[in-house]
Amino acid sequence: MLYFIVNPKSRTGKGLNIWRDVKNYLKENNIKYRAMDTKYEGHATELAKELCKLPYDKINLVVIGGDGTINEVLNGITDFDKINFGVIPTGSGNDFARGLGIKGDHVEQLVKIIMSEKTDAIDIGKVTWGEEEKSRYFAISSGVGLDAIVCKKALTSKLKTFLNKLHLGKLTYIILTVQTLFSMTTADFKVRLDGEERDLTKVIFSAAMNFRAEGGGVPMAPRADAKDGLLSMCMVHTIPKWRTFFCLPFLCAAKHEKIKGFDIVNCKKCEIEISEPVVLHADGEYVEDVNVVTFECVPGRLNLIV
């Protein structure tokens, strides 16, 4: 039995067409399934919570949606040991699927999930913020500063809707990054990486990476590994904005590791105090403007259908 959480509005409605193809295959091959469509923001979280209440030892859950839908589902899972997790990506960025090396069309992906006889445990991240210590899981990345501002803008961007229709949704993040770079303000950070303290000035962004890429394939942390029990912190600071602009091609080509001001450090836990409120995102979803934030790795938490 397969359970599906489907976002029919992902990638400007393309998700619905993909689900129709998947559903036809399931029916033609007499495969038992139950599907639930998301109706509004946060609905996927509610649906995942309801699934976890079912009286079964194991539940095979497949998400048909983008990275935002995957994030909502993760934050609705109340018993990770109970869930075998699969995904058929239908978003514009699809960094989760890219990080896992998922290839082929959606029916081929479905067949691989159906035929699979094992799972593989991968890490996820957890971000905590504010005096009330609110928290949220993330699968790909979470960050503050430039990348978070871009993610926030992309959620309501007409440009993204337009480019999605042209199958060029990934360009949204690059265009918005260039636009935001020259309009944003930087901040000073007090950082603790597994207890080791350092002060960073004029920070443009700090991203906690579980996979190597975010924002539609930008390789922020080229050596990040979702099975090593660590997050890769990519922190960009003390670089003049005009110079950062010229660094973007090196970042997109994963050639930025040796550029002064680009720090990439692996750690289990990163705690940050910020001089002024900055935007925080989790898997591209806007969270809140924060002064204090902690990123930590949750090793082997998600059982992935291989």
Tell me the pLDDT tens digit for each residue of 9-68: 887 677 899 999 999 999 999 999 999 999 999 999 999 999 999 999 999 999 999 999
- Tell me which CATH code domain 124-300 carries: 2.60.200.40
* pLDDT tier, 103 (very low <50, low <70, confident <90, very high otherwise): confident
- Cα–Cα nearest to 218, from 174, 180, 164: 174
The secondary structure of the chain in percent helix, strand, coil, rounded to multiples of 5, reads: 30, 40, 30
Q: Does residue 245 surpass a pLDDT of 70?
A: yes
User: Mean pLDDT across the stretch 141-155?
Assistant: 90
Q: What is the pLDDT of residue 163?
A: 65
30 vs 153: CA distance, rounded Å: 43
89 vs 10: CA distance, rounded Å: 9
Q: What is the pLDDT of residue 152?
A: 86
Q: What is the pLDDT of residue 131?
A: 81
Q: Does residue 158 surpass a pLDDT of 80?
A: no
Matching fold, domains 2-117 and 124-300: no
User: Mean pLDDT across the stretch 263-276?
Assistant: 97
Q: What is the pLDDT of residue 34?
A: 97
User: Mean pLDDT across the stretch 133-161?
Assistant: 88
Span 224-243, pLDDT tens digits: 999 999 999 999 999 998 88
Q: Does residue 212 surpass a pLDDT of 80?
A: yes
Q: What is the pLDDT of residue 248?
A: 85
Query: What are the backbone angles phi and psi of residue 292, rounded to the nearest 5°?
Result: -130, 130
- Tell me which CATH code domain 2-117 carries: 3.40.50.10330
Tokens matching residue 133: 């210590």
Q: What is the pLDDT of residue 170?
A: 65
* pLDDT tier, 167 (very low <50, low <70, confident <90, very high otherwise): low
Tokens 């090593």 belong to 228
Task: Determine the number of helices (DSSP H) and then strands (DSSP E) in the chain.
Answer: 9, 13
| Residue boundaries of the structural domains of the chain | 2-117, 124-300
User: Mean pLDDT across the stretch 275-293?
Assistant: 96
